[in-house]
Chains A and B, each alone.
Chain A
Amino acid sequence: MSEQPQVRSRTGLMALAWLWVALPFAYGVYELVRKVVQLFGG
């Protein structure tokens, strides 16, 4: 059985799922970049 060509987009669920993990991740990266800047005297 192969993947069906008409996979339902589930756009809302997809957006929610990725935002769920991307937002805290972005916060962590932002805080990290702030520290990295200090290494180069920013």
Chain B
Amino acid sequence: MAVGFLDRSRTIAPTDWSRWLIPPAALSVHLSIGQAYAWSVFKPGLEKTMGLSGTQSALPFQLAIVMLGLSAAFGGTLVERNGPRWAMFVSMSCFSTGFLVSALGAYTSQYWLVVLGYGFIGGIGLGIGYISPVSTLIKWFPDRPGMATGIAIMGFGGGALIASPWSSQMLTSFGVTPHGIGAAFLVHGLVYAVFMSLGIVLVRVPADGWKPAGWEPKLDHGKVLISAGNVSASNAIKTPQFWCLWVILCFNVTAGIGILEKASPMITDFFKETSTPVLAASAAGFVALLSLMNMLGRFIWSSTSDLIGRKNIYRVYLGVGALLYLVIALSTNSSKVVFILAAMFILSFYGGGFATIPAYLKDLFGTYQVGAIHGRLLTAWSVAGVLGPLIVNRIADSEKAAGKVGPDLYTMSFYIMIGLLVVGFIANELVRPVNPKFHEPAQGAVGATAGSEAK
């Protein structure tokens, strides 16, 4: 149980607190932990100074993503019980300590310390940090939960945009030596600790029964799937709705990550045999453009879901996403503009799928333990993180071995992605309101802050 300053009871907002202070608190955490996607900046330096292979230098990142999924899944209930300030503090401590341990590893050329620090310790910081503001934001913005979680989860995408040039510049300044990399890790650990502290200080939970002025909950028992009841995390995983959302998230992420992970070689291969081949610098621009769309999709589509409903927005992500993959598969390399536009929208749906899922969970399971349920659902991300790159890379390698070139390297992958998106679309159609037998007793209704104690 958290004590003192970190305790949930110390974070209950005074009546004059503005809810618009909560998104920057959430962003200070998500913009920091989003650094994980910029790990590749350190890879060449580590490989050079420590004599590592590409596979070995990827270990800290891979372990961090595994720990993200595990800590979000298993730490979610603790986060609900102890509150967002405690969770942000744990996240900051782990994420920052991870960099400091990695710095020690780099200074002493002990690579296992880098893996332990960044991968294991830092990875726990990623998972706890990722879910830390979610249920708090949903409680502050019951009228616009999609927009609120969209802002925070957009921050996770934005974190890499900041870290990538920042870390590169730091390595250039300090030098690609064991001491230079160690110094860069040290500065990262200290700066992120300070930056994340804003969230720890600023975050507040609304008082019991608080709601935005003039807003009344819209309770609809079928049309837009907004439930009046609350479901605990342990009950949620017994419902078919949870597993439908798991499939939806997993396949939507698989479809997006398949392009994102191989974007640069993909666009180069696609247009290699044409009159307008794509050069390396342009391919880097394509990757950057996809990152931008991934980030914008998190905010724009998630906010749109507040207007048109969660089920409808996932129809767009999955249905239109499948059609766009079909367009790429059929048009092959006939038009660069069509290829780029389709990929941009697919990546915006990928980001939107991430950002909208907490609001979908809130609609179905209520606010009671939505953070813990979200944590458990993120195991779908871990599976997709392996599945997407595996499909695209294995097929591209085997097609290359068969002597194929250009779009032919990827056509089969695209058809598989279409199939996965169609399965996700069907899973979305199967989502119905949760059976009331899973609902908590009435005292755990909207606005409750008792967490698992209400169980």
| Chain A interface bracket (under 10, 10 to 19, 20 to 34, 35 or more) | 20 to 34
Pair B288/A35 contact, Cβ less than 8 Å: yes
Q: Return the chain A residue nearest B292 by Cβ.
A: A32
Q: A2-B213, A5-B213, A38-B284 are in contact. Are A32 and B291 (CB under 8 A)?
A: yes
Pair B211/A3 contact, Cβ less than 8 Å: yes
B54 lies within 8 A of chain A by Cβ: no
Query: Which A residues, 8 to 38, have Cβ-Cβ distances below 8 Å to chain B?
Result: 8-10, 13-14, 17-18, 20-21, 24-25, 27-29, 31-33, 35-38
Pair A17/B24 contact, Cβ less than 8 Å: yes
CA distance A1 to B361 in the complex (A): 25
B453 lies within 8 A of chain A by Cβ: no
Least distance between A38 CB and chain B CB atoms (Å) = 4
User: Using Cβ atoms and an 8 Å threshold, which residues of chain A touch B211?
Assistant: 2-3
Least distance between B260 CB and chain A CB atoms (Å) = 14
CA distance A31 to B291 in the complex (A): 12
User: Using Cβ atoms and an 8 Å threshold, which residues of chain B touch A41?
Assistant: 282
Q: Return the chain B residue nearest A18 by Cβ.
A: B24
Q: Return the chain A residue nearest B22 by Cβ.
A: A17
Least distance between B397 CB and chain A CB atoms (Å) = 26
Least distance between B171 CB and chain A CB atoms (Å) = 15
Q: Return the chain A residue nearest B214 by Cβ.
A: A2
CA distance A35 to B16 in the complex (A): 43
Q: A35-B284, A35-B288, A37-B285 are in contact. Are A10 and B210 (CB under 8 A)?
A: no
Q: A3-B210, A32-B291 are in contact. Are A14 and B18 (CB under 8 A)?
A: yes
CA distance A9 to B208 in the complex (A): 22
User: Using Cβ atoms and an 8 Å threshold, which residues of chain A touch B286?
Assistant: 39
CA distance A8 to B211 in the complex (A): 17
B55 lies within 8 A of chain A by Cβ: no
Q: Mark B155-166, 1 if CB is under 8 A from A, else 0.
A: 100101111111
CA distance A38 to B279 in the complex (A): 10
Least distance between B355 CB and chain A CB atoms (Å) = 16
B281 lies within 8 A of chain A by Cβ: yes
User: Using Cβ atoms and an 8 Å threshold, which residues of chain A touch B210?
Assistant: 1-3
Query: Which B residues, 323 to 375, have Cβ-Cβ distances below 8 Å to chain A?
Result: 340
Least distance between B360 CB and chain A CB atoms (Å) = 25
Q: A17-B25, A21-B31, A38-B281 are in contact. Are A32 and B16 (CB under 8 A)?
A: no
Least distance between B267 CB and chain A CB atoms (Å) = 9
Pair B198/A20 contact, Cβ less than 8 Å: yes
Q: A7, A18, A21, A40: which contacts B285 (Cβ < 8 A)? A: A40
Least distance between A5 CB and chain B CB atoms (Å) = 6
Q: A7, A18, A24, A33: which contacts B16 (Cβ < 8 A)? A: A7
CA distance A9 to B160 in the complex (A): 32
Query: Which B residues, 1 to 50, have Cβ-Cβ distances below 8 Å to chain A?
Result: 15-18, 20-21, 24-25, 27-28, 31
Q: A3-B212, A6-B16 are in contact. Are A32 and B288 (CB under 8 A)?
A: yes
User: Using Cβ atoms and an 8 Å threshold, which residues of chain B touch A32?
Assistant: 161, 288, 291-292
Q: A8-B16, A36-B288 are in contact. Are A28 and B282 (CB under 8 A)?
A: no
Q: A21-B27, A21-B155, A32-B291 are in contact. Are A39 and B285 (CB under 8 A)?
A: yes
Least distance between B341 CB and chain A CB atoms (Å) = 13
Pair A24/B18 contact, Cβ less than 8 Å: no
Q: A7-B16, A25-B158 are in contact. Are A35 and B21 (CB under 8 A)?
A: no
**Could you tell me which A residues sit within 8 Å of B by CB distance?**
1-10, 13-14, 17-18, 20-21, 24-25, 27-29, 31-33, 35-41
